[in-house]
A and B are shown apart, each in its own frame.
Chain A
Amino acid sequence: MIAMAFALILFPVAMAGVAMAFPSNRARPWLLPFTGTIHLVLTVWTLRNPELQAPVGWLVLDPPGRLILLVISLMFFLCSFYAIGYLRYRGDWSNRTFTSCLLAFLGVMTLVIWSHHLGLMWVAIEGTSLVTAPLIYFNRTPRSIEATWKYLLICSVGIALALLGSFFLAYASFHEGLESSLLFEDLLHHAPRLSKPWLHTAFVLLLVGYGTKMGLAPMHTWKPDAYGEAPGIVGALLAGGLTNCAFLAVLRIYHVMVAAGERVYGGKLLIFLGLLSMLVAGIFMIGQRDIKRMLAYSSVEHMGILVLGLGMGGIGAFGALLHLLNNSMTKGVLFLSAGNLRRAYDSKSIDDISGAMRRLPLSGTLFLFGFIAITGSPPFGPFVSEFTIVTAAFLDGRYVTGALFLLFLLIVFMGMGGTVLAAVQGRPSGRSRLIPYRDTFLTGAPVVVFMALSLLLGLWLPAPIRTLVQEAAHYLETRP
């Protein structure tokens, strides 16, 4: 029973090894849904049986971790079926590295979630950079090299700063003569006695470091390139999986700040970075002609919303954690359908893409509805969570924050709307009609399920999910 943490982490990694050794290029992608299904079943089983969540050394499943574990497992499960369709289309390319790295990616993300030790979590997050770099580089074009280079360099620097921040945090407890430990339990326990100057500097460094990985402005510059050049499925797993893991790191650090009685200092920084990310994303979305870069900026915006809600605390934090779930499901719709459009038009610019609803009726329609959902229109999930956050802002008397939040959402809506409507409306160009690409079951059905989940979460929040989100938000107020 104790082995559940190890099973969830090591099973995908072991399957990555199997994928490396697997001889058939055509059958290899089936390892993805095989692993994804087992991972999801084990995850749900673990979540339903608290005794399986027992801590093993540095591996602890805290309440926010439970929510995020479910989200990434579900994301991977649905994306893995799409991957078969995608890799079949790219049948002439070897998918050995791609499949292995995807599987290892799942294992390393799970390790980030389980690791309750600052150092181990840092190593795991660095690991995610390494296994995702070959995924971004999959197309082997000069542009994808450029994107991978920027991704690796900027994220490595970010992670290096996070390491320095971890050292600072360790020194904050060492300085006060406390037993120096980077276990979150110990950090939270000793939080009020940590040396304040060291704690403040550590928080800034860790926020900048893990914020780089999340893609918060102004450290987001790798994101449009990486998401723009990576295959759609990689974009979906980065925007709906990896960014959540980085957010979890930020949340855990902020939790230490809250426990130390530094909620105001930390909250102000989070709210500032959140609003800045929303603004920067909105500005770059206006007149954006590349649909995948547009989605990358949308991810910057929504990461901003997450830290904004977290910084407000209380109902705002509940809204942020709910938004994490909604954002991931909707990003699944957008990135996967954008990948289909990209293949149907052999382009990702709206200079070439038009009339997507006629050219690819299913993907084009889903792309349009994905846009409606992600910009916070009812009745989809993101509407509920964004509404919760804005309500929390006004209830707390943060009128300026609330007003700016609404203004930036409006800018994003207009900017994104221009691009999306240009892509889906009108008539397909003559050139695109010559490309034989059509929607298939495997590249269509997962997107439909993502869309259905995004809609379902807007209409009705199932009780177990509500409990997960509530416990995660409540956990921020507690101290072991």
Chain B
Amino acid sequence: MSSLIDPILVAVLLLNLFALGNSRIMTVIRVVGVQGALLGILPLLVHEHFGLLPLVVSLLTVALKGLVIPFMLLRAMREAQIRREVAPSVGFLPSMILGAFSIGFSVLLAQELPMTQAHLGLLLVPASLSTVLIGFIMLTTRYKAISQVVGYLILENGIFIFGMLLVEAMPLMVELGVLLDLFVGIFVITIIVNHINEAFSSMDTRKLSALKE
């Protein structure tokens, strides 16, 4: 089963780059939804024994990351009637290249960190670190509030990947706490996004510029 882990992670990385290079926000949200659903399979693969708990975690992840959150974001978008990210501070192609660099950097960094025997050769650490970095790139270079939320989601996905290394060692309570927390965080953020939309008739965070030195 664990031979499936690396192909999934490669797909996740490709989706990252695709999300960075796409200007249609609808597409980007769907891409991140697919990414979340793919990640939902991981808990089933990393557990050595098939049991009820990994199944529950897996189903919850797919439901939250793959369905509920993308649905909430898409609904917020439809109400705001925006389609495209306009002119990010770093262009789509340059940010894709930056993303590719971050993957290389993560591979180098991961080599510095010692792994246990069971995890040697797996892509979990570099995939996790580069997904975190790509989420960070998205957060800092995009102007639409929704795009920034998507960047945050990608960052959370990166952390989720790292969590897979600890699935056996950590109590399930913490895993569920993480999912719950993500859900609540996104929930509150979506509410605020709607308020931004009402107050400024746009979700462009460049309009949020009254507060600065």
Contacts and interface: CB of A to CB of B under 8 A. Distances in A.
B200 to A, nearest CB: 7
B3 interface: no
Nearest to A283: B213
Interface in B158-201: 158-159, 162-163, 165-166, 169-171, 173-174, 177-178, 181, 184-185, 188-189, 192, 195-196, 199-200
Given A130-B185, A164-B132, A182-B174, A157 B166 contact: no
A175 B208 contact: no
B112 interface: yes
A142 B169 CA distance: 46
A126 B199 contact: no
Interface residues of A, number: 41
Contacts of A133: 188, 192
Interface stretch (B47-55, B78-86, B113-121): B113-121
Interface residues of B, number: 42
B126 to A, nearest CB: 14
A225 B208 CA distance: 11
A197 interface: yes
B1 interface: no
Contact of A198 (B114, B195, B213): B114
Contact of B211 (A126, A147, A157, A284): A147
B196 A171 contact: no
Contacts of B115: 175
B210 A170 contact: no
A123, A164, A168, A182 pick with most chain B CB within 10 angstroms: A164
Given A123-B181, A174-B166, A146 B192 contact: no
Most chain A CB inside 10 Å of its own CB: which residue of B169, B173, B209: B169
Given A157-B139, A198-B113, A119 B174 contact: yes
Given A146-B211, A170-B170, A174-B169, A126 B114 contact: no
A149 interface: yes
B112 to A, nearest CB: 6
B152 A146 contact: no
B211 A180 contact: no
Interface in A115-153: 119-120, 123, 126, 129-130, 133, 137, 142-143, 145-150, 152-153
A150 B114 CA distance: 36
Q: Which of A171, A175, A180, A229 is packed against the most chain B CB atoms within 10 Å?
A: A171
B155 A130 contact: no
Given A126-B185, A167-B166, A175-B115, A284 B213 contact: yes
B192 A152 contact: yes
Contacts of B25: none
Residue among B162, B174, B208, B210 with the highest chain A CB neighbour number at 10 A: B174
B114 A163 contact: no
A58 B152 CA distance: 29
A10 interface: no
B170 A149 contact: no
Given A167-B159, A174-B116, A225 B211 contact: yes
Given A152-B188, A157-B139, A145 B199 contact: yes
Interface string A152-179: 1100110010011001101100110100
B208 A146 contact: yes
A228 B173 CA distance: 37
B211 A170 contact: no
Interface in A91-124: 119-120, 123
Contacts of B181: 123, 126
B192 A175 contact: no
Nearest to A178: B169
A145 B196 contact: yes
B54 to A, nearest CB: 17
Given A145-B195, A175-B114, A163 B178 contact: yes
A153 B116 contact: no
B61 interface: no
A129 B145 CA distance: 18
B159 A164 contact: yes
A95 B185 CA distance: 23
A229 B152 contact: no
Contacts of A228: 211
A167 B211 contact: no
A37 interface: no
Interface of A: 119-120, 123, 126, 129-130, 133, 137, 142-143, 145-150, 152-153, 156-157, 160, 163-164, 167-168, 170-171, 174-175, 177, 180, 182, 195, 197-198, 201, 224-225, 228-229, 284
Across the A-B interface, the 6 shortest Cβ-Cβ residue pairs: A180-B169, A119-B174, A146-B208, A225-B211, A142-B199, A174-B169
